[in-house]
Amino acid sequence: MARVFNVIIERDSEGYYVATIPELRGCHTQAKSLDTLMKRIREAIELCLEVEGEEVPSHEFIGVQRVWVET
């Protein structure tokens, strides 16, 4: 059975791409290239699903907002 997950991708201060799956607690990985990142996040999803089983709730993706805060 195929499942679709939303992937949040950011770049850290050292230039690594970091991918996180909000639906799967603790499911994240990093890589220097986007191609490698996508391979690794698929592997991470598969591992997280083995642990979580079929109990993972499905979420509807709405969007991303950036918020600036003066500090």
What is the CATH code of the structural domain delimited by 1-71?
A: 3.30.160.250
> What integer pLDDT is reported at residue 1 of this predicted model?
72
This prediction has a pTM of 0.81
pLDDT tens, position by position, 17-61: 999 999 888 999 999 999 999 999 999 999 999 887 767 777 788
> What integer pLDDT is reported at residue 47 of this predicted model?
93
* C-alpha distance from residue 12 to each of 30, 59, 60 (Å): 9, 26, 26
> What integer pLDDT is reported at residue 25 of this predicted model?
87
Q: Where are the domains of the chain?
A: 1-71
> What integer pLDDT is reported at residue 54 of this predicted model?
65
